[in-house]
């Protein structure tokens, strides 16, 4: 009798499976992946042995599209669609780079309004991150509270520029509109009301015994590993690294305001665990409120379109501009030739960089813990895939 040799089973990376191991696909149509992300998970029972992310389901040639616009200003609506839950931040990062390239100085009022919009957008983004993360962990009520208050921010954006998701509001050299007369009063009301929600959800979710058991000492990202992987934002600060571009590489007059950088301290487990990353986002919203209230109280007068160029044709050169987005360092590298269109645009997407660490921090975790780890990274696939 001739025995047929057993074929070795391999993963997509060529890794040969042991007999105790199996491959499970999470996504791309799984709610816990927060978008069209496919994770090829190698399991030994319920223990994660390997995680291989598969990207590209939402790739739409963002950078090449930008390079074929008829003007630099036309890039901004495309930039909106990158991180579609933080479109104001995308615009802010692009115009910081473009204004550096063009050597444009914008009025002080423009800087203040950009800061207000950026911090409102940070809060709106964190509300989605924490609200959906709560659902991942089995807590539905915080999601309802946070989305109710997020609506108030979207109403402020809609009142200002007519859009709720993709704004085309922050322009090179200024803004598309000045803020409406009732904006300041409505923003003050939001800040007052939102503080109550923050305290309520903080007690309801972050210090819930079940939530702590699901998140403390899970998905630990040590400080040196976070730095080596170039993680940024709450992902980096959750590991105890005291770094924030708004303070350490100031842009848009952030250095005029008083606020604190929030870092993880390992209060419920180990520094850099899932709980730390979540609490950093929670406490960052308090700091955003501090910045917004200061900016509104000292908002200068001025023309928000005074520095908007009629025609943009930069001299040959390049520039890199970056901002502290809700997910970390969002940057744009622009190469200009003697043309009205950009020769090259490259985005530095924080969600893409932060996602790269998932394999390193998931090994040895339970399959259920992998859901918590993905949620704590806070990815947006429009930014990951571009």
pLDDT of 7: 47
Q: How far is residue 326 from each of residues 88, 110, 253, 339, 351, measured CA to CA in Å?
A: 11, 21, 18, 33, 10
pLDDT for 314 beyond 90: no
Quick count: other Cβ atoms within 10 Å of Cβ 158? 14
Residue 12, pLDDT score: 66
Confidence tier at 11 by pLDDT (50, 70, 90): low
Residue 123 in this model has a pLDDT that exceeds 80: yes
Q: Is 304 helix (H, G, I), strand (E, B) or coil?
A: coil
- The candidate with the shortest Cα–Cα distance to 73, out of 355, 375, 378, 341, is 341
Residue 2 has pLDDT above 60, yes or no: no
Residue 280 confidence class, pLDDT cut points 50, 70, 90 = very high
Taking only the tens place, the pLDDT of each residue in 317-376 is 899 999 999 999 999 999 988 888 888 989 899 999 999 999 999 998 899 899 999 989
User: Predicted confidence band at 307 (pLDDT cuts at 50, 70, 90)?
Assistant: confident
Answer with the residue of higher pLDDT: 57 or 19: 57
Q: N- to C-terminal Cα distance for the chain?
A: 56
pLDDT band at 82 (very low <50, low <70, confident <90, very high): confident
Share of the chain above pLDDT 90, in %: 46
Could you give the CA distance from residue 51 to residue 357 in angstroms, rounded to a whole number?
10
**357-366 exposure pattern, b = at least 16 Cβ within 10 A, e = fewer:** bbeebbeebe
What are 83-105's pLDDT values in tens digits? Answer: 888 999 999 999 999 999 999 88
pLDDT band, very low/low/confident/very high, at 137 (cuts 50, 70, 90): confident
CA-CA distance, 219 to 376, in Å (whole number)?
A: 9
Residue 4 is predicted with a pLDDT of 38
Task: For the chain, give every domain's residue range.
Answer: 62-339
Closest of 159, 120, 162, 177 to residue 304, by C-alpha: 177
Judged against a pLDDT cut of 60, whether residue 5 lies above it is answered with no
Gyration radius (Cα) of the chain, Å: 22
Of how many residues is the chain composed?
A: 386
Cβ pair 170, 76 in contact under 8 A: yes
Fold of 62-339: Cytochrome-c3 Hydrogenase; chain B (1.10.645)
pLDDT value for 22: 86
Span 210-218, average pLDDT:
91
pLDDT at 26 over 60: yes
């Amino acid at each position: 009798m001739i025995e047929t040799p057993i074929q070795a089973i391999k993963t997509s990376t060529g890794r040969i499976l042991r007999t105790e191991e199996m491959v499970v696909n999470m996504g791309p149509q799984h709610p816990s992946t927060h978008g069209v992300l496919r994770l090829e998970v190698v399991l030994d029972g319920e223990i994660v042995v390997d995680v291989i992310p598969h990207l590209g389901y939402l790739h739409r040639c963002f950078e090449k599209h930008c390079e074929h616009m008829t003007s630099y200003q036309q890039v901004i609506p495309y930039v909106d669609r990158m991180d579609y839950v933080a479109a104001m931040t995308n615009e802010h990062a692009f115009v910081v780079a473009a204004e550096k390239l063009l050597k444009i100085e914008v009025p002080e009022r423009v800087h203040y309004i950009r800061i207000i919009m950026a911090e409102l957008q940070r809060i709106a983004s964190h509300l989605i991150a924490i609200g959906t993360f709560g659902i991942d962990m089995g807590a539905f009520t915080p999601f309802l509270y946070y989305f109710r208050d997020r609506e108030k921010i979207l109403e402020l954006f809609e009142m200002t520029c007519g859009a709720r998701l993709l704004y085309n509001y922050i322009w090179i050299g200024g803004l598309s509109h000045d803020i409406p007369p009732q904006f300041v009063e409505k923003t003050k009301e939001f800040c007052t009301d939102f503080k109550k929600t923050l305290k309520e959800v903080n007690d309801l979710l972050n210090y819930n015994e079940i939530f702590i058991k699901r998140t403390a000492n899970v998905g630990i990202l040590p400080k040196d590993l976070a730095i080596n992987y170039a993680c940024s934002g709450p992902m980096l600060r959750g590991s105890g690294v005291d770094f924030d571009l708004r303070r350490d590489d100031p842009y848009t007059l952030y250095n005029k305001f008083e606020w604190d950088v929030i870092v993880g301290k390992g209060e419920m487990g180990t520094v850099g665990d899932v709980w730390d990353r979540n609490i950093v986002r929670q406490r960052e919203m308090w700091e955003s409120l501090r910045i917004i209230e200061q900016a509104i109280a000292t908002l200068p007068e001025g023309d928000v379109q005074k520095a908007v160029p009629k025609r943009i044709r930069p001299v040959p050169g390049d520039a890199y501009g970056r901002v502290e987005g809700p997910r970390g360092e969002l940057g744009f590298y622009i190469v200009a030739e003697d043309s009205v269109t950009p020769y090259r645009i490259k985005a530095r997407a924080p969600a893409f960089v932060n996602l790269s660490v998932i394999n390193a921090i998931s090994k040895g975790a339970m399959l259920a813990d992998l859901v918590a780890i993905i949620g704590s990274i806070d990815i947006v696939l429009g930014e990951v895939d571009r």
